[in-house]
Chain A
Amino acid sequence: MTAIIEFKNYTWRYLNTSAPALKNINLQIEEGKFIGIIGPNGAGKTTLAYSMDGLVPGQYHGIKDGEVIILGKEVEKYERGELQRSVGMVFSDPEAQFTAMTVEDELVFGMENLGMSISEIRERLEWVTDLTDLKHLLNKPPYEISGGQKQRVALAAVLAMTPKVMLLDEPTSMLDPISRKRVFDVLAQLKREQSNTVIVIEHSLENLIPLADQMVLLSDGEVMLFDETQAFFQQTSLLVEKGIHPPGAARFFHELQQKGYYAGDIPLTVEKAARKLGQMLPEFPSREEASRT
């Protein structure tokens, strides 16, 4: 697989700050992968995302060292508005990213910027509203809909532009669990049906883990860990030390591991943990037996 995004010894320091926001980042993201980026607040996650979308250094003053290569070209070599044709970004605050008066106009705005024809726009609009279940909201002003719907609009607006890379910066941080799940349902469907590279910065690990192919741990502006999701969460001690709370199932098996009761791979979901536990405890009743008792 080819690397669609490549960071080479990349360091970025915002102007008038003493410490760099990102330090010596070396990262290769392959095409079509679903990547989860986690880390405590102030770790540099948003700066990393902005660096991939050209907002850094385009919109912010600072000192850059190293390279960020997107689709084989250094970010700074892209014309204004060119990189965003390939890299779409969804921000954490849906309210702040709306630029139009109705949901439909919001979805269409990006496509018009790309110079799509009316028939292309119509086709894309149909597809994206089906995918995100927004058809009934097209004529509503975006500021009148619920938080979950707003974030789906923001996601759909970027999806409609069909970018090769989609960046989502804490897309569910302002949502309730049900709305959060709906956003991840859309991402899951996207993963099943499309071949986009999706990079999600997220704190909600329960939703992220089942989708992520690879995970990145960022702390104090440095990449502490980058691995396949399963292997990534085997480093539970490091994650906990860096302020990350792995899912309950993983923590439980990590505890067992620490106490010497378990030596295998740490399961990451409740389902896998239940299966593992079933194997560990032969007397563990099967579902049929449990229902009989």
Chain B
Amino acid sequence: MNKTLLGYVPNESPIYAVHPFVKLFFLLVVSLFPLFIAAPEWNIMIMIFILLMMWISRVNMKTLRIYIPVAISMGTIIFLSYTVLGGIHPEYELLLNVGGVRFYWERVRDAIVVYFRILPMILTMVFFLTTSRERDLIVAMRSIRTPFVITYVFAMALRAAGMVLEDFQIVRQAEQARGFDSKGKSLVYKIRKYVMYMIPLFALSLRRSEEFTNALIARGYAFTGEFSRVKRADYVLTHYQFRTSDSIMTAIIGLSFIAILVLRYGFNYFNLDDSWIFAWLHQLLWGG
């Protein structure tokens, strides 16, 4: 496992043979799939497919555990928003009435639909983060001729995020060394004392940005003027070749998206009326 600013990536993986652009294209396009799919079983299939891709890519599946709390809290928020905070709808089928809080079948169903739309999107992002290094992102953006300024600002943002995290650890250790430790204290206490971390962190960030600007200028980077218009060689791209297999994968991803659109809007696929999960659930709750 190698640590990146974005997470952990495997040391060796067949996915490294894939051009970074294909990975970025996969992220951007496949995460759109669930938006056009209402029936959860199809979105579950997308999730299974992505998990399979992760396994093939030798991603350490244990790292997925860190996303479980996110998935649970997100599910809870969605469920509460659609049910407890979902309002009164006499036209809907009432499932339960708990102390005046009405749980309607349609609202529960909608919560499940939304949740199973978001989960594959997150999983697609996790797949990207667990198989891509920071450099891949930059290469992917540069290979589609994104202006250097944009890719560079993006790279600097990634770099800055890593530095802030490192600085935060330094400040935290310095505070702990002087006897301040919020471990085991209440959340209110932690929030109140958070300023003790924030002020030095803010000061450090200002200093870092000054040093960073100096470093950029010292390396001959000009923000304006004649020397800012120098034609850049994009040396990093010489390490990557867009092979036939990459073209095929890009085409498959693109065609899959088109196929989903055609099936959804041309043949009315993926809708709730045909969902066997909901048919089964409805039958279970109402008994026929």
Contact = CB atoms under 8 A, between A and B. Distances in A.
Interface of A: 50, 53-55, 58-59, 79-82, 84-85, 88-89, 91, 93, 95-102, 104-105, 108-118, 121-122, 141, 143-144, 157-158, 161
A161 B217 contact: no
Given A101-B133, A113-B230, A114-B220, A81 B211 contact: no
Contact of A109 (B4, B213, B219): B219
A89 B214 CA distance: 10
Interface stretch (B82-90, B152-160, B246-254): B152-160
Nearest to B138: A101
Interface residues of B, number: 42
Contacts of B235: 108, 111-112, 118, 121-122
A102 B135 contact: yes
A91 B235 CA distance: 25
Nearest to A105: B236
Given A99-B159, A114-B230, A89 B218 contact: yes
A101 B211 contact: no
Interface string B215-241: 111111111111110111111101000
Contacts of A117: 233
B276 interface: no
B208 A96 contact: yes
A99 B212 contact: yes
Contact of B225 (A53, A80, A113, A158): A80
B162 interface: yes
A80 B220 CA distance: 9
Contacts of A114: 220, 230
Contacts of A97: 211-212, 214-215, 218
Nearest to B237: A118
Given A113-B220, A121-B235, A98 B226 contact: no
Contact of B135 (A96, A101, A158): A101
Interface in B172-228: 208, 210-228
The B contact surface, by secondary structure, is helix
Among A89, A95, A109: residue with most chain B CB under 10 A: A109
B211 A91 contact: yes
Nearest to A161: B220
Contacts of B234: 112
Contacts of B166: 143
Given A80-B228, A101-B133, A121-B233, 4 more contacts: A81-B222, A81-B227, A99-B219, A111-B235
Given A85-B220, A112-B234, A118-B235, A79 B214 contact: no
Contacts, number: 124
A161 B217 CA distance: 13
Given A81-B220, A113-B221, A141-B134, A55 B214 contact: yes
A118 B238 contact: yes
Nearest to B221: A113
B159 to A, nearest CB: 7
Contacts of B215: 91, 96-99
Given A81-B222, A99-B156, A121-B233, A59 B213 contact: yes
Interface in B105-143: 133-135, 138
Contact of A84 (B155, B213, B220): B220
A58 B238 contact: no
Most-contacted residue by chain A among B138, B214, B215 (CB, 10 A) = B215
A143 B133 CA distance: 14
Contacts of B135: 101-102, 105
B3 interface: yes
Contact of A80 (B3, B133, B163, B227): B227
Contact of B217 (A84, A102, A116): A84
B222 to A, nearest CB: 3
Among A54, A59, A141, max chain B CB count under 10 A is at A141
